[in-house]
Amino acid sequence: MYDENDDFWDIERIMPPNVTTAFDGVDTDGVEISFGNGQADTGTPIPERRKQARAIIESFEKKTSRLLFSYKPDIRLFEEVSVFAWPTKYPFYEKFVSDGEKYYRATYNDCTYTPFFSYMPQYNQLTLGQLRYYLKWRSGLRHGHFLKTDFSYILLFIYELLNLENVSTPEKRLTALCAVWLAYRGIFPKLDNILAEWVCDFCLFHKLPPPLEKLAPILSSVTSSASLKEFYCSDINESLEKFISSSSAYRYDRSVYYQRNKELFDSHVISAAAFALSKADETQAKSSEPRKTKISRDIYSGALCVSEVKCRIDVTYYSFSRETKYKSQLSQLVKYCENGVRAHLGIKSRLSSSGLSEELQKYADEYFENNLPPSESSAEKRKKDEDKRYALYETDTSDFTTGDALEIEERSWSITRELVPDWEEETISEVKEEAADTELSPYELFISHLSELQLDILKLIYGKNVAEAEKICRKSGAILSGITDEINDIAASDTDDIIIEDEKIIEDYEQLLGDALKERGN
């Protein structure tokens, strides 16, 4: 008897029938494509492809080669600036210009801070509250009141200044660019990287001189951030010095000796490096000019910019920052020049400047021989002071009798009795003897100021056991270089020089340190 429940688990019965699709038998292996000559195409030869690519590039360049104007700027290192029109027109930012012209003179006061964020801020992205606060913030900025703001509000204001050619003069808009830069760079450091480029482009496009006076407080940072550094340099020597300061990986102003000798370091380290660099290249030395360079750049890169304002600028100028063959040695040169200042101060420790060419060393030495010759070391000064002190105790060769000596002694005791009661004489004598016994040398004083960990590390380095010193530092959760820096800071304070360099005791101080360690029972 058939029971329908018997087929409950028969899955194949309820599945749709399999449909098999037959292929037409075409071989799917590689097929050779034949052309009219009956020969197989093996691909376009590489030289032919290059010709085709070159033709495409040349056709594009023809479209972009419409010269708007060319001029010789009043900038010491610049020879010519040529401005070319942007090749294509694009309408999607035109509303920004019309909105900007509409809101340019609008203000609003009765509102509170409203946050705003946009990667490419525009007026049509603002809510009513954001628009009101932007107008209030911008009005305050124009009157020298720098209210709380967001980076997107600042960008929107900058985009106004770059694009709205019909609402204000280029000079006034440049002043506003510098004002917002100076006011908010401390809160938004990325303004340095952005405006160092856009202010340069703005000035070159509008034939304006570099705003060096407006940016004077931050000019060194501006030069470091700019790709066209020479724009912010008023003369060749200044350009070279700023190039060295901004390109060297080593910062002399972070030296352990900088704060106590700031004037000497600032006056001579970079000046000596610039002197050596300019003298080393004989061609440059004869012409007093760096090599001529030409660059092409699209202005306002990364900014919201309408096609009428967007353009390409070609700049012909004299460049230190792009062509100098000594660029790779700058850091070593700055270290070597700091060593020259250290030598003048009598500091025996030296920075390593390996790899620096002998030519650059020779000219750096020439600078210091003429401008800052080495002075006596602190050890030599102490020896001279001691010689002068001992000279006071030498026998007087003049006519001097025993009676004269007795008279002087009696007079001194008489004065002593008047000033000090009899019962204090013995006490004063004891105090003097105790003071003499406890007087510390500079190196003993230095050791007495070390912590237990610092002293242990110093003794291990003195004993040339650096591996054990590193082990102890790891156990203490410290870094050996950090501990040696702390030790050097204390040594510089007490002995006028550091004592450890490259995880070794400086050779000139080994004996002095050894004597001090023994004296202190270490």
Same domain, 356 and 500: no
Same domain, 421 and 453: no
Same domain, 408 and 266: no
Question: Residue 326 contacts by C-beta under 8 Å, 6 or more apart in sequence?
Answer: 277, 280, 281, 333, 357, 360
pLDDT in tens, 207-256: 999 998 999 888 878 887 888 888 887 655 566 677 777 677 788 888 88
User: From CA 487, how far away is CA 357, in angstroms rounded?
Assistant: 32
User: From CA 360, how far away is CA 271, in angstroms rounded?
Assistant: 13
Same domain, 182 and 148: yes
Burial of 253: CB neighbours in 10 Å, binned 0-12, 13-18, 19+: exposed
- How far is the CA of 271 from the CAs of 276, 297, 300, 322, 405, in angstroms? 9, 31, 34, 20, 60
Element (H, E) at 385: helix 378-391
Same domain, 248 and 107: yes
Residue type (1 letter), 500: I
Same domain, 328 and 295: yes
Count of domains forming the chain: 3
Say if 482 falls within a structural domain.
Answer: yes
- Of 352, 371, 390, the position where a domain reaches its end is 371
Same domain, 305 and 419: no
Say if 478 falls within a structural domain.
Answer: yes
Query: Two tokens at 324?
Result: 């100098």
Please say whether the beta carbons of 53 and 72 come within 8 A: no
| CB-CB neighbours of 156 under 10 Å | 25
Question: Residue 335 contacts by C-beta under 8 Å, 6 or more apart in sequence?
Answer: 250, 252, 351, 352, 353
Three-class DSSP category at 430: helix
Please say whether the beta carbons of 114 and 133 come within 8 A: yes
Among residues 458, 453, 433, 465, which one has the least CA distance to residue 443?
458
Say if 67 falls within a structural domain.
Answer: no
Please say whether the beta carbons of 375 and 344 come within 8 A: yes
What totals of helices (H) and strands (E) does the chain contain, helices first?
Answer: 21, 6
Same domain, 311 and 410: no
Domain, as residue range, for 417? 402-436
Mean residue pLDDT across the chain: 78
Question: Residue 140 contacts by C-beta under 8 Å, 6 or more apart in sequence?
Answer: 146, 147
For 88-149, give the DSSP string: S---TTHHHHHHHHHHTT----S--------SS--GGG--HHHHHHHHHHHHHHHTT-----
Element (H, E) at 314: strand 311-318
Say if 217 falls within a structural domain.
Answer: yes
Question: Residue 150 contacts by C-beta under 8 Å, 6 or more apart in sequence?
Answer: 115, 116, 117
Same domain, 89 and 114: yes
Say if 133 falls within a structural domain.
Answer: yes
Same domain, 431 and 456: no
Same domain, 429 and 482: no
Say if 39 falls within a structural domain.
Answer: no
Among residues 149, 207, 136, which one has the least CA distance to residue 180?
149
Say if 9 falls within a structural domain.
Answer: no
Say if 72 falls within a structural domain.
Answer: no
pLDDT in tens, 17-43: 544 433 334 343 433 333 344 444 444
Kind of pairing, strands 78-85 and 292-298?
unpaired
Among residues 261, 215, 209, which one has the least CA distance to residue 242?
215
End-to-end distance of the chain based on CA atoms, in angstroms?
Answer: 109
Among residues 457, 448, 496, which one has the least CA distance to residue 475?
457
| CB-CB neighbours of 488 under 10 Å | 18
- Of 327, 349, 371, the position where a domain reaches its end is 371
Give the position of tokens 């600028």: 313
Same domain, 331 and 460: no
Angle between helices 94-103 and 151-163 (to 10 degrees): 100
- Of 325, 348, 371, the position where a domain reaches its end is 371
Among residues 143, 92, 133, 139, which one has the least CA distance to residue 110?
133
How far is CA 453 from its chain centroid? 33
% of the chain exceeding 70 in pLDDT: 71
Give the position of tokens 């620096």: 356
Instruction: Encode the chain (522 residues) as per-residue pLDDT tens digits.
Output: 445 555 544 544 544 554 443 333 434 343 333 334 444 444 445 566 566 556 555 555 555 568 999 999 988 778 999 999 988 888 888 899 999 999 998 999 889 999 999 999 999 999 999 999 999 999 999 898 999 999 999 999 999 999 999 889 999 999 999 999 999 999 999 999 999 999 999 999 999 999 989 998 888 788 878 888 888 876 555 666 777 776 777 888 888 888 888 899 988 998 888 888 777 754 444 444 456 788 999 999 999 998 889 999 999 987 765 555 556 678 888 999 999 999 888 888 888 887 788 888 999 999 999 888 776 555 555 566 666 665 655 555 556 666 666 777 777 777 766 666 554 444 445 444 444 444 677 888 888 888 888 899 999 999 889 889 988 888 888 888 888 888 888 888 888 788 888 888 988 888 888 888 887 776
